[in-house]
Amino acid sequence: MVLLLALAFSLSTYKLTESPPTWFDEGYIIQSALNLVESGKMEIQIAPNKIVRSSELFSTGYPVTYPVGIVMKFFGRGLLQARAVMVLFLMLFVLFFYLFARKVWDFKTAILSSLLLASFAPLYGNGKNVLGEVPGLFFLVLFLFFINKLEKSDFKSYFYYAMAGLTAGLCVSTKPFFLILLPALLLTPLIFKRIVILKLKPMLLAALFFSFPLALWFKTQFSGSNSIPMILSDYSNPYAFSNVWPVIVKNALRFLTEATPIYFLALLIIWSVSIILKLKARKQKIILAEAVYFRTPGWYRYLFPAHIVMLLYFPAAFYVVFNFIGNLRIYKLAAPLLLSALISIQFYQVGFSSWVATYYHSTRAKDLADYFNKQDSSKSIFIYRNPEIAVFLQHNNYYQYLKLLDTLEMGADELNKINLGVPDEVVMTIDGAEEANKRTPGLFLNYKEKTRVNRYLIFERK
C-alpha cells in the first residue's frame, strides 16, 4: 500500500501546475472558491467591487470549493495552492479505493484494482484539475467502505449508519450527478433480491447525517426557488441541444472507433457478464455505478466516474468470467499476467502517450505566473472569456466577461468598458480575439497588442 501511494503521489505531483493545462472550468471553480470563503457564497467578480451569483451555473459544490478557498486564503492565490488540495483528494481516493477492495476481496484483487486505478491516465487528467469528479468519487468509495462495514456488523452499528449517511451527503454535495446514488441504494436490494432489514432508528440517524451536508449545500449553492430547476435542466441537456438524438448516435459510435470508449465498453461487458454469472450462482454483491455520457458532446470526462468504478470491480469480475470459461488453476496463472499487461500499457500511456503526457513540457502556468506576478496592482485588467487568468492575479482590480453556453453570459454589460478604454490591459486567447471582433467590430479601437503570453494575447491601452 505504501508503494502504491508513493506511485500515485509521484504521478499526481509531477508537473502539477502544467499537466493537465488550466482551463475555463477550473478557473471558474477557483474563483468561486475564493469568493465562497470571503463572502459565504459562490460568486464571480465581473468588475472591481462587483460580483454576481454563480453557484447555480456550475455543479461543483462546497466540499471542493471550501478547502480550495481556505488554502488560498492562508497560502496565497495560485494554481499550485489550489491543485495541492486536489492532490490530497486524489491520494485519499487511492487509499480508500484500495482499503475498500481489500475489505471486499483479497490482497491480490485489491492491489490489481488499485494498480489499474493508479496507472489510469484520466485519473490525473481529471484529478489534478480543480474539478468535482475525483472528490465525489472519494466520498462515494468512502460511502461504500462504510456500507461494507455496516453489512459486516449485520446492520447493527449506529456509527456506520451515521458515517454512511454523512459520506453519501458529501458525495451528492460535491457533484449533483451523484444523486443517482439515492435510487441506486433503493433499487439494488430489489434487483438483486437482497433482504435488508430497515430499522427505523438507525435509518433516521443515517438520514439525519445525510441531511447535514445537504443543508450546507443548499445554503451555499442555491439562492432562490429557480435554483434547483436550473441545475436539473442543465443536467438534462447541459449543452442546450435542440435535438439530442444525433448527439447520442454520434457518441454511441465512439464506442466502436475510439480507444477510451472501446476500453470502457469492454469493461462494461465483462462486468455485466460477471453479474449475470453471479446471479445464476446466487452470489450477489451490491454494485453502484453511473454515467452521464450519452447526451453530451462526448467528452471522456463524462465517462470518467463510471469508468473508475468499473476499474474497482474489474479484477473480481474478470475472475468470475475467466473461471467460468476456464478453470481456477488457469485463472491463477493467466489472469495476473493479462491484468499486469494491461496495467503496464496504462503506465506507458500516462507517461508517454496520454492527454496529460502531451503537456509535461508545457510552460503555460509558468508563463502566466511570471507575467502577472510582475504586474502593478494599480493596473486594471479585463479578462475576456478566460476565468483561469484570475487565478494568476494577486489583486482584484479586474473586469470579466464570461460566456458559458451559447445563451448564457456573465459580465456582458462590462464589455462597454473596453469601448471606453477603461481597463489598462485586456487578456484573451487568439481565438477569443477573433470572436470578439466579429461580435463587436471596433471593440479594440482604443487598444494595441502588447505581447503574447503562451496562448494568450495581451492588449494595452493606446
* pLDDT tier for residue 298 given thresholds of 50, 70 and 90: very low
- In angstroms, the Cα distances linking 420 to 62, 383, 400, 423, 447 are 38, 15, 15, 9, 10
Q: How far is CA 340 from the centre of its chain?
A: 27
- pTM of the shown model: 0.87
The three cell numbers of residue 42 are 459562490
pLDDT: is 31 or 281 the higher one? 31
Q: Where are the alpha helices (DSSP H) in 105-236?
A: 107-118, 121-127, 133-152, 158-174, 181-191, 200-221, 227-236
The three cell numbers of residue 218 are 443548499
- Given this model, what pLDDT does residue 281 score? 67
- Given this model, what pLDDT does residue 131 score? 92
Nearest to 161 by CA among 198, 215, 214, 136: 198
* pLDDT tier for residue 55 given thresholds of 50, 70 and 90: low
Helix (H) or strand (E) run with residue 274 in it? helix 259-280
- Given this model, what pLDDT does residue 170 score? 94
355 and 125 Cβ atoms separated by less than 8 Å? yes
The three cell numbers of residue 90 are 486524489
Sheet hosting strand 456-461, strand order edge to edge: 408-410, 398-405, 381-384, 425-429, 456-461, 447-453
- Tell me: pLDDT of 118 over 90: yes
- Given this model, what pLDDT does residue 82 score? 95
- Given this model, what pLDDT does residue 147 score? 85
Q: Looking at residues 207-218, what average pLDDT do you find? A: 91
- Given this model, what pLDDT does residue 243 score? 62
- Tell me: pLDDT of 3 over 80: yes
- In angstroms, the Cα distances linking 32 to 46, 52, 69, 129, 131 are 12, 10, 8, 15, 12
* pLDDT tier for residue 57 given thresholds of 50, 70 and 90: low
Q: Is residue 255 packed enough to be buried (19+ CB in 10 Å), middle (13-18) or exposed (0-12)?
A: middle
Q: Which pLDDT tens digit goes with each residue over 326-356?
A: 666 666 677 788 888 999 999 999 999 888 9
- Between CA 200 and CA 166, with CA 63 as vertex, the angle to 5 degrees is 15
- Tell me: pLDDT of 280 over 80: no
- Given this model, what pLDDT does residue 308 score? 87
Q: Looking at residues 112-136, what average pLDDT do you find? A: 93
- Given this model, what pLDDT does residue 240 score? 54
Average pLDDT of the chain is 83
- Tell me: pLDDT of 287 over 70: no
Q: Looking at residues 194-220, what average pLDDT do you find? A: 82
The region that residue 240 occupies, defined by phi over 0 for left and psi between -120 and 50 for alpha, beta otherwise, is: left
427 and 393 Cβ atoms separated by less than 8 Å? no
120 and 30 Cβ atoms separated by less than 8 Å? no
Q: Are strands 425-429 and 408-410 parallel, antiparallel or unpaired?
A: unpaired
- Given this model, what pLDDT does residue 289 score? 35
Nearest to 53 by CA among 204, 214, 224: 224
Helix (H) or strand (E) run with residue 371 in it? helix 364-373
The full length of the chain comes to 462
Q: How many CB atoms lie within 10 A of CB 373?
A: 11
Q: Which pLDDT tens digit goes with each residue over 404-458?
A: 766 678 888 898 999 899 999 999 998 888 888 777 777 888 899 999 999 999 9
- Between CA 170 and CA 174, with CA 171 as vertex, the angle to 5 degrees is 80
Q: Which pLDDT tens digit goes with each residue over 128-175?
A: 999 999 999 999 999 989 988 887 888 888 999 999 999 999 998 998
Q: Looking at residues 22-39, what average pLDDT do you find? A: 88
pLDDT: is 338 or 88 the higher one? 88
pLDDT: is 88 or 269 the higher one? 88
- Tell me: pLDDT of 236 over 90: no
- Tell me: pLDDT of 44 over 80: yes
Q: Looking at residues 317-332, what average pLDDT do you find? A: 73
- In angstroms, the Cα distances linking 202 to 146, 165, 167, 189 are 14, 10, 15, 18
Handedness of CA 323, 325, 327, 332 (dihedral sign): negative
318 phi, psi to nearest 5 deg: -60, -40
Q: Looking at residues 54-71, what average pLDDT do you find? A: 82
* pLDDT tier for residue 241 given thresholds of 50, 70 and 90: low
- Given this model, what pLDDT does residue 349 score? 92
* pLDDT tier for residue 231 given thresholds of 50, 70 and 90: low
292 phi, psi to nearest 5 deg: -125, 45
The three cell numbers of residue 279 are 446471479
Share of the chain above pLDDT 70, in %: 82
Nearest to 133 by CA among 307, 271, 262: 307
Q: What is the CA radius of gyration of the chain?
A: 24
